[in-house]
Amino acid sequence: GDSVTQMEGPVTLSEEAFLTINCTYTATGYPSLFWYVQYPGEGLQLLLKATKADDKGSNKGFEATYRKETTSFHLEKGSVQVSDSAVYFCALTQGGKLIFGQGTELSVKP
């Protein structure tokens, strides 16, 4: 079945460092792809999305490009802040629902 695989965490970075969180997927058809973020004590929030190949989703300085040829949707940010510390989930649509990866915890130190 369809699935999402993320790089394992935790990822620890210093403020202003470059961030990449890898995400690859297995899917039949052409799913939409998402990154959700979960800040401590809060619910999941949509960070960005891409609905077709070569689309780039972006929000709050984060970007991810839908790469059909490599079945990837890696999350990047040029300069992370302490406030970006959270758990990040990659997800795809399967039928009427979202399928999530296992999450990657990001910790940003001042």
Partner 1 sequence: DTGVSQNPRHKITKRGQNVTFRCDPISEHNRLYWYRQTLGQGPEFLTYFQNEAQLEKSRLLSDRFSAERPKGSFSTLEIQRTEQGDSAMYLCASSLGGRLNTEAFFGQGTRLTVV
> Does 59 participate in binding partner 1 (rule CB under 8 A)?
no
The correct pick among 49, 75, 77, 86 for binding partner 1 (CB under 8 A) is 49
What are the phi and psi torsion angles at 79 (to 5°)?
Answer: -150, 100
CB of 8 to partner 1, least distance (A): 10
The correct pick among 4, 19, 23, 108 for binding partner 1 (CB under 8 A) is 4
- Distance in angstroms (rounded) separating the CA atoms of residues 7 and 64: 15
In this chain, which stretch among 21-29, 61-69, 77-85, 94-102 interacts with partner 1, using CB under 8 A? Answer: 94-102
- Tokens encoding 48: 């960005």
> Does 64 participate in binding partner 1 (rule CB under 8 A)?
no
Please name the residues in contact with 88: beta carbons below 8 A apart, sequence gap of 6 or more: 6, 21, 35, 36, 37, 38, 47, 75, 103, 104, 105, 106
Residues of this chain that bind partner 1 (CB under 8 A)? 4, 32, 36, 42-46, 49, 51, 89, 91, 93, 95-103
